[in-house]
Amino acid sequence: MEGEQSVELIRVQLRKQRALAGMNQEEFGKRTNYSGSTVSAVETGTRAVDLPYARRADEILETGGLFESLLRTAQRDGQPAWFMPWLKAERAARQLRCFHPTLIPGLLQTENYARAVLRFDDTRPEQEIEQQVAARLERQEILRRERPPQLVAVIDETVLRRADAVMAEQLAHLLRMAELSHVHIHIIPARAGLHVGLSGPLLLARLPDGTWVGHLESQLGGEEADTEEHLATLLARWECLRGVALPEDLSVALIKEVESQHGPQ
């Protein structure tokens, strides 16, 4: 795959630039605040190259952002073709709307939660999973921009109450994200019963020119929704979702209540 080839190029260049700087793996690890074993794992491919590592390597090796740029390109190349139109819209969006009936939306997932979700496909190699985890975390960088998009996420209460080892950490992360002025989280309470969101996931992005783009996912992939008729339907369904969801303050209170039932992290 093109993405895998790009990642291998990064590893080759990391080894080359480190050697040119006259540092072995232990010395480089000390300079970058990583262990020598971690440096070895990154360079041999048993540990994924993530953005913090790439940025630190750029600083120490004085490569002017080379490794961060290469990594971002590799992560884009590693995404399935059907997802690329949505990624482009997501990066350009001024406003984002997201709902998934059974999962925490990707932009709000922790690293461990994302890894658990990506392991649903038990035929996927571990290295590929780690690359996809890194790509998902990279997507979340848009929320840390100087001028980030407004994100409104609707989550079903049943998603919060799944008994899983990663949920305590995930709930704490949701509460931290809810403190950001541009992130708005609304929970659909269990008492709402059946609602339109149970038909499937829904993503909407409002672009700088005011137009909307929608994205729908299924077991086999996803498709873009950009016709006037389809967008009108999705926007109407979004309003129905918001209508049955709790306001922000009650949503945060519910997340805190569920978090307390998961026990200490």
Domain spans of the chain? 2-76, 83-262
Percentage of the chain beyond pLDDT 70 is 91
pLDDT at 82: 65
pLDDT at 204: 96
Fold for the domain defined by 2-76: 434 Repressor (Amino-terminal Domain) (1.10.260)
Beta strands across the sheet bearing 202-206: 183-188, 150-156, 95-100, 202-206, 212-218, 221-225
**Taking all residues of the chain, what is their mean pLDDT, rounded to a whole number?**
87
Rounded Cα distance between 7 and 169, Å, is 29
Fold for the domain defined by 83-262: Endonuclease; Chain A (3.30.870)
Rounded Cα distance between 74 and 78, Å, is 6
Beta strand residue intervals within 16-168, DSSP E: 95-100, 150-156
pLDDT at 80: 66
pLDDT at 77: 60
pLDDT in tens, 228-259: 899 999 999 999 999 999 999 999 999 999 99
pLDDT in tens, 7-53: 777 888 899 899 999 999 999 999 999 999 899 988 887 777 777 88
Q: Is the pLDDT of residue 159 over 90?
A: yes
pLDDT in tens, 62-71: 999 888 888 7
Looking at per-residue pLDDT, the higher value among 223 and 206 belongs to: 206
For 50, phi and psi rounded to 5 degrees?
-110, 175
pLDDT at 1: 46
pLDDT in tens, 89-132: 999 999 999 999 999 999 999 999 999 998 888 887 787 788 78
User: Is the distance from CB of 214 to CB of 230 less than 8 angstroms?
Assistant: yes
For 183, phi and psi rounded to 5 degrees?
-115, 125
How many beta carbons lie within 10 A of that of residue 104, not counting itself? 25
Tell me the whole-structure pTM to 2 decimals. 0.72
